[in-house]
């Protein structure tokens, strides 16, 4: 093996290590992020709490945790495609329940922003690739972190 090949292999190992670390970090902060973004979502949409009751909060936290779990798995795989496919699948499931995809996009943007607030710029840059593929172009740059769509 020549020196160039060894350096490429070492670089891939380091990148894999950083991806695994980021995925573990995401899993560790998922409960707090899920609770935060669910509160934020219901601040934007208080009618949901009234329409669906405590069930809405339970499902909101659970859904946000699923978003983060699928994101972490895609990061471990080093491929944005599974997270984008998950977002499309989730939109279809919600549509079958009469929930517009704009609400999923809003929630994913809230998750993205909450994660960015907890992670450094290098890690946030990694996440940006995944959210760029998962979110509709119209929701990539919300007006502010607390903006409701």
Read off the pLDDT of residues 22-79 as tens digits, 9 standing for 90 and up: 999 999 999 999 999 999 999 999 998 888 888 889 999 999 999 999 999 999 999 9
Least confident of 13-22, 66-75, 98-107: 13-22
Please check the confidence at residue 140 and state whether its pLDDT lies above 90.
no
Q: What confidence score (pLDDT) does residue 10 get?
A: 42
- What domains are there in the chain, each with its CATH number? 3-139 (1.10.490.20)
Residues 29 and 68: their CA atoms lie apart, in Å, by: 9
Residues 28 and 14: their CA atoms lie apart, in Å, by: 21
Tally of CB atoms within 10 A around 97: 6
pTM of the model as a whole: 0.84
User: What is the chain's mean pLDDT, rounded?
Assistant: 85
Q: What confidence score (pLDDT) does residue 53 get?
A: 87
Residues 66 and 148: their CA atoms lie apart, in Å, by: 21
Q: How confident is the model at residue 13 (pLDDT cuts 50, 70, 90)?
A: very low
């Amino acid at each position: 093996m020549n020196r160039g090949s060894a350096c490429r292999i070492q670089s891939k190992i380091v990148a894999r290590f950083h991806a695994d670390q980021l995925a573990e970090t995401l899993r560790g902060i998922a409960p707090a992020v899920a609770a935060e973004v669910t509160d934020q979502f219901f601040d934007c949409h208080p009618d949901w709490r009234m329409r669906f009751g405590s069930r809405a909060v339970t499902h909101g936290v659970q859904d946000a945790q699923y978003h983060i779990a699928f994101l972490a798995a895609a990061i471990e795989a080093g491929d944005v495609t599974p997270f984008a496919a998950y977002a499309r699948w989730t939109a279809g499931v919600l549509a079958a329940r009469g929930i517009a995809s704009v609400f999923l996009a809003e929630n994913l943007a809230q998750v993205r922003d909450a994660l960015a607030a907890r992670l450094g710029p290098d890690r946030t840059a990694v996440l940006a690739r995944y959210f760029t593929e998962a979110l509709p172009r119209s929701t990539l740059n919300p007006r502010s972190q607390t903006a409701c769509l």
